């Protein structure tokens, strides 16, 4: 795992992670949003993707769901300041999670060590839902969106209710396959934290990459 993609719209975090991985011998590419990351991934598939969840244009929620379907070989680490703990938040298509602002300086080293075991990583994976950004709803509390079925690629309408976070499962009316959906409205201040704690600088030591 020698090739890393870092996707985050915070240039300070991108710079810190790039320097950290570069010093450890990894080849690092960066992107400021999900669309830019996806374009770069299509040009050259990385071994590891580290992605913030709250980004402009295409969020990390959406990016990771697409990557899980199209590039299942990529080991994915999600980052966010909106969740705590080491467990991957429910419904997010990632193999590991890093809480921004965490005081655990060697958390990245632990994650990378665990991700080396490809069989363990794949056994823990669950099907990725289609992430849909929240949209304004009408006075009746309902909005209608078009969903593209990942199996037959045909679209069908789906009604969204006024909820901040919602999981749903629909049956595609065309191919009759189950389609998992997730709707999210990220908070405006979702990721105001940095890679380490704001009170002090955390030194993170990464192991050299394994060919």
Query: Does 129 have pLDDT greater than 80?
Result: no
pLDDT value of position 194: 57
What local confidence, expressed as pLDDT, does residue 166 receive?
67
Point out which residues pair with 180 in neighbouring strands: 169
Q: What is the DSSP string of 18-52?
A: HHHHHHTT-EEEEESSHHHHHHHHHHS--SEEEEE
Q: CATH 3.40.50.2300: which residues of the chain?
A: 3-123
Q: CA 41, 85, 80 angle in degrees (round to 5)?
A: 40
Q: Which CATH number fits domain 3-123: 3.90.1010.10, 3.40.50.2300, 3.40.50.620, 1.20.120.1200?
A: 3.40.50.2300
Give dist(CA 119, CA 124) in Å, integer.
9
pLDDT given for residue 97 in this prediction: 92
Tokens representing 19 are: 């320097």
pLDDT tens, 95-119?
Answer: 999 988 765 557 778 888 888 766 5
């Amino acid at each position: 795992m020698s090739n890393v993609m870092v996707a985050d719209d915070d240039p300070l975090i991108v710079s810190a992670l790039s320097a950290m991985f570069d010093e450890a011998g990894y080849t690092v590419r960066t992107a400021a949003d999900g669309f830019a990351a996806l374009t770069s991934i299509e040009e050259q598939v990385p071994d590891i993707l580290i992605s913030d969840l709250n980004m402009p244009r295409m969020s990390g929620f959406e990016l990771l769901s697409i990557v899980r379907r199209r590039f299942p070989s990529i080991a994915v680490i999600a980052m966010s300041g909106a969740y705590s703990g080491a467990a991957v938040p429910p419904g997010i298509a990632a193999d590991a999670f890093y809480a921004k602002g965490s005081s655990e300086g060697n958390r990245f080293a632990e994650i990378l060590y665990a991700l080396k075991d490809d069989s363990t990583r794949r056994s823990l994976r669950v099907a990725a839902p289609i992430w849909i950004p929240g949209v304004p709803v009408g006075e009746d509390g309902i909005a209608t969106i078009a969903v593209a079925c990942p199996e037959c690629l045909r679209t069908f309408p789906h009604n969204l209710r006024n909820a901040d976070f919602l999981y749903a499962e629909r049956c595609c009316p065309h191919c009759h396959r189950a389609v998992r959906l997730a709707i999210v409205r990220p908070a405006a201040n979702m990721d105001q934290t940095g890679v380490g704690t704001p009170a002090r600088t955390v030194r993170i030591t990464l192991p050299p990459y394994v060919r």
